Every structure is written in C-alpha cells, then in structure tokens.
Amino acid sequence: MPGVVEHVVLGAGRALVGVADEPVELHAGDYVSYPGDVPHVFEAVEPGTHAVLVSEHV
C-alpha cells in the first residue's frame, strides 16, 4: 500500500531487515524503519530471534 512505513525493533537474536536490495543486520535492541510499499525482507539469522513490527499508514 503506498505510503506505508514499517518500523522494526529487534527483541532478541539477529536478523536481516529492510528493503530487499539493502537489508541491514539488526541485533537485540536495534531499530530500523523502511518503506513498506517496496519489496522488503525479514530474515532471522539465528534461533530465538523475535521482533516487534509496527506498520504505519500515512
């Protein structure tokens, strides 16, 4: 949906998160936001990874 922004806070573990062509590696406590209306990824790279995702519709 146009205008959507996704916000992710990683609670535990490690993950690659963000725009599909340029994901960033997050560790516990890290935050990232990115446009939700383009291809994006959330890939846990270790067991026990969890996060909170908030989808902002502007």
In the predicted model, is pLDDT for residue 49 greater than 80? yes
Whether 1 has a pLDDT exceeding 80, the answer reads no
Question: What does the chain look like in DSSP terms, one character per residue?
Answer: -TTEEEEEEEEESEEEEEETTS-EEEETT-EEEEETTS-EEEEE-STT-EEEEEEEE-
Q: How many residues does the chain have?
A: 58
Domain ranges of the chain: 4-57
Residue 58's pLDDT is 80
Please tell me the distance from the alpha carbon of residue 17 to that of residue 19, in angstroms, as a whole number. 7
| pLDDT tens for each residue of 15-47 | 999 999 999 999 999 999 999 999 999 999 999
- Please report the pLDDT score of residue 2 as a whole number: 86
